[in-house]
Amino acid sequence: MEIIWLGHSCFRIRGKEATIVSDPFDRTLGYPVKKLTANIVTVSHPHPQHSFLEDVAGSPKVISRPGEYEIANVFINGIATFHDADGGEHRGKNTVYLVQIEEVSICHLGDLGHVPTAEQIEQMSDTDILMVPVGGGATIGAAAAVEIISLLQPKLVIPMHFKTEVVKMDLEPLEHFLKEMGLKEVVTQPKLNISKSALPADTSVVVLDYH
């Protein structure tokens, strides 16, 4: 299975039987927009920087709300959460997706704005790979991200939704999260090729390059 980060909260997960795109974005972010083909698209919330479907070909099944889904031997559990720490009062709802593909469980937190409840953590408890926002602003920041990591104890952590040289939003840089994790330096990589047997024993951080 191959995981590529396209920028912000958007990933392409390509397995043997299906390709998933998460939170596709429009051109307002500053990241290059690429034509993608997918069987499945997950949308955490209806914002054009997370739900831009026009550049995704292949007539994909679009999942944009909580629930359980099975498509092309991919099992997806959409978990209802909020975009802020006040029950969605300010920014509305957010859907976290737990995706099981080729025996690997990938949890994409979307624009999560709070530390999940004990019940929500239980629903995410089988996470192998955690895609977590770390840039603050409209989502959790570095400290809350580290707290969630300690609760879920995933094998791999992929940070997303942070300040880069092209992002025009007011977000914290990746370095704040790395410092919270006690990491001085992490080598970025263009993609992640992973299988169940290749997952590390202890939690590791993988930083992907959108280029």
Q: Please choose, from the candidates 118, 122, 126, 99, the residue with its C-alpha nearest in 3D space to the C-alpha of residue 110.
A: 99
Residues forming beta bridges with residue 79, ordered by sequence position: 96
Residue of 156, 110, 104, 148 whose CA lies nearest to 129: 156
Tens digit of each residue's pLDDT (9 = 90 or more) over 132-157: 999 998 899 999 999 999 999 999 99
The CATH homologous superfamily to which domain 2-205 belongs is: Ribonuclease Z/Hydroxyacylglutathione hydrolase-like (3.60.15.10)
**Average pLDDT rounded to a whole number, residues 15-39:** 92
Inter-CA distances, 29 with 26, 32, 55, 190, 202, Å: 7, 9, 15, 20, 34
pLDDT tens by residue, 30-42: 898 888 999 999 9
- The residue type at 203: T
Mean pLDDT of all residues in the chain? 94
